[in-house]
Each structure stands twice: as C-alpha cells, then as structure tokens.
Amino acid sequence: MRYYTGRGDSGNTDSLGCGRIAKDDCVAVSVGDVDELNCAIGLAASGIADKRLSDMLTALQDRLFIVGAQIASGAALSRKISRADVEWIEGNIQILSSDLPEQKKFVLPGGSQPGAQLHLARAVARRAERSIVTLSKNRGVDKEVLAFINRLSSFLFVAALFVNKKEGVAEKNPTYD
C-alpha cells in the first residue's frame, strides 16, 4: 500500500463534499485546523493518568472527526454534531470544575506537562474556531458545530486547571503592572 498519491503536488486536495479544492480554501484550512486540534488533544491525553479525563478526551477526539467530516462534506451524514454533544461538553466542564477554585484572574498557560499541553490544545481550539467562523461566513456551518467548537476551548481550559490541581501544581497569574 502506498501512503501518498501525488495528487496534491499542485496545491489542490480532495474534499468529501466540494470535489477538488485548493489547499488554502477555507474548507481545507478548517479541516486542517480541526485535525491539528485533534492531534494536540491526543498528545495531551497521552500524559494524563486520570481515566475519567482520558476517556473524555478520547470521546472529544472521536467527535472532532465528526466535525471534520461535517465541514468537509457539507452533506447529510449519518452522525452529526448535535445539541446533545454541546450539552455533553457543558456537563463535563461542570464535572471537572466542581472542585476547582473560582477563577478571578487570567492564568499563565503551563503547569504540569499534561496541563501545559491542554493549554496548548485550547489555543489550537481557538484557532480552529476562528477558521470555522470564517468558513461559516463563506459556505455555512451548522450552528451546533459552532457551539461545540466554542465550548471545546472552555473544556480544555478547565481540563488544564483540573490536571494541574491533581498534579499539585499551582496556577500562576500574569503580572502586568
């Protein structure tokens, strides 16, 4: 089996619902950002000992494949991101944040290794969200995908705080005075 085709050498790629598109087309950019986000979550998950959080991250990765397929296809799929997926993230934010102190200041991204990786994933999630918003202005994106990707960065922030607390690493706040 070959793992390359050479079809993209001219700067174009295949998209499920759009046929051949330029690699810098807003569909390709959004799908690429979601793929990068999925990889960042996988990297963070590889260092997390808490099974409950690890399972949440795996479920998120699965849903991100659905997001990518929805963005790339623009067509009806057997599984789409739904209001239930948004509520699932919100519920998990509540679970992880239940033992965290209230945040009244910004937090410097970092802490433990998995905490820092979750902060990085959060930043990648925000970039993915920006590219999906751009796509929504040009081609339309299901409102549940937009809500899901918006909640995802909040989830990743809380997950980073959760991991750092479990690992006994205190959060640091920026000083700008």
Residues 29-70: tens digit of each pLDDT: 899 999 999 999 999 999 999 999 999 999 999 999 999 989
Give 107-152 pLDDT, tens digit per residue: 989 999 999 999 999 999 999 999 999 999 988 888 999 999 999 9
What per-residue confidence (pLDDT) applies to 90?
98
Residue 137 inside a domain? The answer is yes
Find how far residue 107's CA is from the centre of its chain: 19
CATH classification of the domain holding 145: 1.20.1200.10
For residue 70, what are the domain limits? 24-97+109-165
pLDDT at 26: 77
The per-residue pLDDT for 173 is: 87
What pLDDT score was predicted for residue 122? 98
* pLDDT in the model for residue 10: 73
3-state secondary structure of 19: strand
Q: Is 16 inside a domain boundary?
A: no
Please give the backbone phi and psi of residue 15, each rounded to the nearest 5 degrees, phi first. -125, 140
3-state helix, strand, coil in the chain (%, to 5): 60, 5, 35
* Amino acid sitting at position 3: Y
Please give the tally of structural domains in the chain: 1
Helix (H, G, I), strand (E, B), or coil: what is residue 176? coil
pTM exceeds 0.85 for this model: yes
Residue 9 lies in a domain: no
First CA to last CA distance, the chain: 59
pLDDT at residue 177 in the model: 59
DSSP bridge pairs for 12: 22
Chain segment 67-116, per-residue pLDDT in tens: 998 988 866 677 889 999 999 999 999 999 998 988 888 998 999 999 99
In a domain, 103, yes or no: no
Is residue 119 in some structural domain? yes
Per-residue pLDDT band at 22 (split at 50, 70, 90): low
Cα distances (Å, whole numbers) of residue 167 to 23, 116, 138, 153? 41, 12, 43, 21
User: Is the residue at 64 inside a domain?
Assistant: yes
User: pLDDT value at position 76?
Assistant: 61
What's the rounded mean pLDDT across residues 152-169?
96
